[in-house]
Amino acid sequence: MEAITFKLAELELAGLTNFSLSSPLENNKPVLLFIHGWQDNAATFSSLWQRLEKDFNLVAIDLPGHGLSQSRSGDNYYHFFDYIDDLHQVIMQLPATRVCLVGHSLGAIIASCYSAAYPQLIDKLVLIEGLSPLVEEAEQTVERLKRGIKSRQQYRKSSERRKARAMNSFTEALQLRANVNDLPMTCLEPVVKRATIKRNGLWYWRHDQRLRCESLYRMTQQQAQAIMSSIEAPIYSIVGSHGFPQLRDDPQDKYKLQQFSQVVIVGGHHCHLEQPDTVSNCIRAFISLERD
């Protein structure tokens, strides 16, 4: 995979690809666009690329504030819907009329919403440990607003302290991330390499600390269902046996999905890191099946 930069209207996103974005595709292989989860980056899919690059045109991005991408401007925060706008600007730069989206966690939610808004641009949808927008009861709207603003106030008060936080070695950063995700360090090494920077002998996280601020609003179940039921592309859900249980709670009926299938594999929320052979085989079979 080679490094690429996507120039959006307000910022630049870092990416990786195995084909040229500046000329027409020289093969008829499907284009798979990978979207990572919260505080991850494009490298979370590196073990899948090794297994898929012969069969597909692959491209992945670091979302704003993640990995090697630019952060949002200092007077802005990370509104969920803005990611969908970012994704659209990326897709408009690809030399393909239709793409397949592969999203993990937050990336899966972004992919779902985008597919509902732009069905003509999406062939298939692979959602790993993620599905629909997060929802809350309408009665919680005011409390959500208050919590979101409070989290921003706390960020502003502690921003200088957060900037000063440092780690003594890459191994320390890797161990911290492994502890948080409850995964072996070997699974996370590519992710942590792309997520850290070394300055004056110390290691720092690259991601924007504003990512930790809570959302000021969430959708209701009715709104989420309206989005999910509008998706025309076939949806393939890959979930871990020890991942988020709500993802296995009959989502097709819950969200009135048009074309939906799901597989449960051994693993947790990052099952694609734990079982790259299984997940890559699932993706290959699903894309090939839909093309036949």
In a domain? residue 144: no
The two tokens of residue 270 are 């990052």
What is the DSSP-derived secondary structure letter of residue 30?
A: P
One domain for residues 122 and 235: yes
Counted domains in the chain = 2
pLDDT along the chain (292 residues), means of 10: 96 96 88 97 97 96 98 94 98 96 98 98 98 96 97 85 78 96 96 96 94 95 97 98 93 94 97 97 87 48
Residues 207 and 270 in one domain: no
- Give the CATH number of the domain where residue 122 resides: 3.40.50.1820
132 and 182 belong to one structural domain? no
- The C-alpha atoms of residue 187 and residue 275 are separated, in whole angstroms, by 10
Structure tokens at 223: 């709104």
3 state DSSP class of 152? helix
> What angle, rounded to 10 degrees, do the helices at 106-117 and 221-228 form?
60
Q: Would you say residue 33 lies in a domain?
A: yes
Predicted pLDDT at 292: 44
DSSP 88-134: HHHHTTSS-S-EEEEEETHHHHHHHHHHHH-GGGEEEEEEES--S--
Q: What is the DSSP letter of 56?
A: S
Domain interval for residue 6: 2-138+220-291
Task: Give me the pLDDT at residue 291, please.
Answer: 52
241 φ, ψ (degrees, to nearest 5):
-65, -25
First to last CA, the chain: 27
Same domain, 117 and 14: yes
Contact 105, 130 (CB under 8 A): yes
pLDDT at 82: 97
Same domain membership, residue 240 and residue 208: no
